[in-house]
Amino acid sequence: MIYQRILEELATHNCKITPQRREIIKTLIQAKVPLSAKQIFDRLRTRNPKMSFDTVYRNLAILKELQVVRQLDFHDGKSRFEIDRGPKHHHYLVCLKCGGAWKIDGCPMENLNINNIPTDFKVTNHRFELFGYCKDCRS
């Protein structure tokens, strides 16, 4: 369902639907966590040894520009990518050792008292990340 919606979105922007672009989209849809460009490349390379890292990176930039893919820049300096599934956003737990990222249910902003924000300030976005070590990296 989401795959077809993305292909239709690409078509409305006259964006070619190349085999490489299809594989990148499928990889991101199947991913349970946001992936770095390198992780996407590594997963695709097993199926398509001729695909280059530059191809993955260029396609991610195009998909991001078309708002099909969301780029997540964590404070650990590693960008990760996920399919943009609409207005609902996510927050993450980020492992400082392996770089894994896991979604947190809910949004802490919902419980935050924002009455203390100056009235002439308009909040347009926010981010919330918790850093630490996953179970595997603690062992």
Say whether 23 counts as a known binding-site residue: no
The answer to whether 75 is a known ligand-binding residue is no
Phi, psi of 113 (to 5 degrees): -80, 105
- At residue 68's C-alpha, the angle toward residues 17 and 134, to 5°, is 120
Sign of CA dihedral 85, 10, 42, 48: positive
Is residue 95 marked as binding? yes
SS3 of the chain: helix, strand, coil, percent, to 5: 40, 15, 40
On whether the CB atoms of residues 136 and 115 are closer than 8 A, the answer is no
Question: Is 134 among the annotated ligand-binding positions?
Answer: yes
- Ligand-binding annotation for 137, yes or no, is yes
CB neighbours of 135 closer than 8 A, spacing ≥ 6?
A: none
Q: Which of 75, 82, 91 is nearest to 39 (CA)?
A: 82
Binding residues: 95, 98, 110, 126, 134, 137
Please report, in range form, the residues annotated as the binding site for Fe cation: 110, 126
Known binding residues for Zn(2+): 95, 98, 134, 137
